[in-house]
Amino acid sequence: MEYMAESTDRSPGHILCCECGVPISPNPANICVACLRSKVDISQGIPKQVSISFCKQCQRYFQPPGTWIQCALESRELLALCLKKIKAPLSKVRLVDAGFVWTEPHSKRLKVKLTIQKEVMNGAILQQVFVVDYVVQSQMCGDCHRVEAKDFWKAVIQVRQKTLHKKTFYYLEQLILKYGMHQNTLRIKEIHDGLDFYYSSKQHAQKMVEFLQCTVPC
């Protein structure tokens, strides 16, 4: 007579969903995923459409409370900015994954696909995937607004030379273009015996003064 050893490999049992009667693996709520989702919406309270401001002149996005940052489309920086817009509602759930859904670059729309989790009935963990639509609104930033006004400046550099020829200014012009020192200049005005450089901040003007002192006799 031979004794057969009882197999220790046992497949987990199944129960019936208390709502629809479909066989499911046991879970704390004793309910299938479809029925659980029909009863509980863990994305409730998270806005599905959000507005975001964009300055067309300098290609920057507005980051509250008062910062404008430059972000490429579908970049990590832009994704972080989008998530900050809904930071408070997202704090009530667990963010599993986030990524952009492709949209036409000129559609003025950004779509972010979110995957979230939350503990619901009797400790059951429910996961949900949904898309948040960001409407890109055009808004001119303060810096560009002042540039467009053409009458706002905080510092001016007056460069003068008492001579009959303009060779020094021609040489200085080539150096300024070569090293890109004109990028922070609001306006360059030509007057008798020299040039005036206008700047929106004293720091930019001071940088230009240091450049002049290193390149031409002052």
Q: What is the pLDDT of residues 149-188, one digit of tens each?
A: 666 778 898 988 887 777 888 888 888 888 888 888 888 8
Q: Which domain holds residue 34?
A: 13-40
The domain boundary residue, chosen from 95, 117, 142: 142
My answer on whether 64 and 120 are in the same domain is yes
My answer on whether 134 and 200 are in the same domain is no
My answer on whether 35 and 54 are in the same domain is no
The domain boundary residue, chosen from 142, 166, 182: 142
The domain boundary residue, chosen from 142, 172, 191: 142
**% of the chain exceeding 70 in pLDDT:** 89
- For residue 1, being part of any structural domain is answered with no
Residue, of 5 and 165, whose pLDDT is higher: 165
pLDDT, the chain, mean: 83
Give the domain CATH number at 130. Answer: 3.10.450
My answer on whether 203 and 159 are in the same domain is yes
Would you state the pLDDT for residue 151? 62
Would you state the pLDDT for residue 1? 43
- For residue 6, being part of any structural domain is answered with no
- For residue 55, being part of any structural domain is answered with yes
HEC states along 72-140? Answer: CCCCHHHHHHHHHHCHHHHCCCEEEEEEEECCCCCCCEEEEEEEEEEECHHHCEEEEEEEEEEEEEECC
Tens of pLDDT, residues 206-218: 998 999 888 888 8
pLDDT band at 11 (very low <50, low <70, confident <90, very high): low
My answer on whether 78 and 109 are in the same domain is yes
C-alpha dist (Å) from residue 142 to 67, 99, 146, 181, 198: 10, 30, 6, 22, 17
What does the alpha-carbon distance between residue 218 and residue 120 come to, in Å, rounded to a whole number? 74
Q: Model pTM greater than 0.75?
A: no
Residue, of 103 and 152, whose pLDDT is higher: 103
- For residue 185, being part of any structural domain is answered with yes
Residue, of 21 and 60, whose pLDDT is higher: 60
My answer on whether 47 and 138 are in the same domain is yes
My answer on whether 65 and 121 are in the same domain is yes
My answer on whether 127 and 188 are in the same domain is no
**% of the chain exceeding 90 in pLDDT:** 22
What does the alpha-carbon distance between residue 139 and residue 127 come to, in Å, rounded to a whole number? 36
Count up the domains in the chain and report the number.
3
Would you state the pLDDT for residue 24? 73
My answer on whether 205 and 125 are in the same domain is no
My answer on whether 157 and 192 are in the same domain is yes
Would you state the pLDDT for residue 65? 83
My answer on whether 56 and 119 are in the same domain is yes
- For residue 3, being part of any structural domain is answered with no
Tens of pLDDT, residues 57-86: 888 999 988 889 998 988 999 999 999 999
My answer on whether 36 and 47 are in the same domain is no
